[in-house]
Amino acid sequence: MSVNANDIFIVGAARTEFGRFDGEDNELAETAVRGALADCGLVWSDIEFAVGGTNGETKPDNLVSRLGLTGLPFVTVKNGCATGAVALMTARNGLIAEDLNVACVVGYDNHARGAFNVSPARYGLGDWYGATGMMVTTSYFALKIARYLHEHGISQRTLGYASAKAFDYAQEHPYAWRRKPVSVDEAMDADMINDPLTRFMFCAPDAGAVSLVLARGSKAYDLCETPIRLASVALRGRRPGSFEVFSPWLSPGDRTSPSIDAAKAAFDLAGMTPADVQVAQLQDTDSGAEVIHLGETGLLAHGEQEAAYRNGEFEIDGRLPLNTDGGLLANGEPVGASGLRQVHEIVRQLQGRADGKQVPGAPRIGFTHVYGAPGISACTVLISEGAQ
């Protein structure tokens, strides 16, 4: 098999457990990086370019004091829930632009308990917006899914199916935070947070780290028996007509979404279609977000979600295994790590060495999607080319 000099492959992958953590987030990041290096037989001095992402107050480039002062360029990224995917894209672009061979990317965070409730001023909004309660993100997600369910004739019970699926996957995944199974009825009958979303339908901020090692061209096959090609990574922001976090309004005209645009771009760049995907990861900040993103990314037509959940299409042996590590619902969301967690899970699935449930049939094509405030989305298409 011929390898293009500018093809980028993932050759090393590692993550920490997600959950509550009392130490410094830099400790988590260092653990993940050293794990990813070991996964492909490298040491820090072999890395030529690095990118780190976090939504917290620490600076990822300070990790060199723990890992080694080798003089390499280290870029820091902060893009909300899309941070991990943007860090991955930055590492990819850095290898190509700088004509380098090996890069490392790491995403991490250690958040306090409770829903995010940030300052309106950080998003160009007045204090009045926070006084209404809309800076609490659970309110926004509830508004968005309530409208979506109504528009597409989907029952609220579909949200329970999404939650039950997540916790079913997580009970067999050693790195997931919440591993106790939850039935559809339990999810539906749990404490209501923001109607129609209950306690088991939201993720929670927590701690964790993920790291990946990237290699360019044929170098990848020197480091990994089954490198996974990063066929595409696409980032898009909001346009008029989108209904977004901290911007919950709709302008006249066509309905748009950064998730729609990012997914289309990722599939076009990879020369693939949504129908080609064999295992996927979607942003599921809440169970409603997963339902919406199935439609926005083109993996399903709008309105088909309820039947697909009922028919088991997203289970491990279904048509499209989805969020096979439990997603955000079961892992929680250390914001800087989430996008890379998705890629880590897809890489392990495509290599046939999943940490939890393994998708049968040797899947070759995977897809990831993240979405975050104030209306940004990033998607990737990952392909297993097999051994050279």
Q: What is the DSSP string of 258-280?
A: HHHHHHHHHHHHHT--GGG-SEE
Question: Burial, 364: exposed, middle or buried (Cβ in 10 Å; 0-12, 13-18, 19+)?
Answer: middle
The series of mean pLDDT values per 10 residues for the chain, 388 residues long, is 87 97 92 98 98 90 96 94 94 96 97 74 82 81 94 97 98 97 98 97 95 96 96 94 76 85 98 98 97 98 98 98 98 95 98 97 98 91 83
**Helical ranges in the chain per DSSP H:** 25-39, 64-67, 83-98, 127-131, 137-152, 157-170, 184-189, 219-223, 258-270, 287-296, 305-310, 327-331, 335-350
- CATH 3.40.47.10 matches 8-113+206-216: yes
Sign, CA dihedral 346-274-369-117, equals negative
Residue with tokens 């390898």: 3
* Residue 17 φ/ψ, nearest 5 degrees: -65, 150
What are the C-alpha distances in Å from 240 to residues 23, 137, 253, 298? 42, 21, 8, 20
Question: How far apart are alpha carbons 213 and 340 in whole angstroms?
Answer: 11
Q: Residues 143, 144, 147, 150: what is their CA dihedral angle, to the nearest 10 degrees?
A: -110
| Residue type at position 175 | Y
Residue with tokens 């890395």: 47
Cβ-Cβ contacts under 8 Å for 64 (sequence gap 6 or more): 70, 72, 74
DSSP collapsed to 3 states, 284-306: CCEHHHHHHHHHHCCCCCCCCHH
> What is the residue-wise DSSP string for 60-92?
GGGGHHHH------EEEE-BTBTHHHHHHHHHH
| Residue type at position 137 | T
Q: Which 3 state secondary structure label does DSSP give 44?
A: helix
Task: Report yes or no on whether pTM surpasses 0.85.
Answer: yes
In this structure, what DSSP letter does residue 201 have?
G
What are the C-alpha distances in Å from 158 to residues 165, 265, 287? 11, 28, 9
In this structure, what DSSP letter does residue 134 have?
T
Q: Residues 195, 148, 378, 382: what is their CA dihedral angle, to the nearest 10 degrees?
A: 110
pLDDT at 39: 98
What would the two tokens of residue 141 be?
A: 């997600």
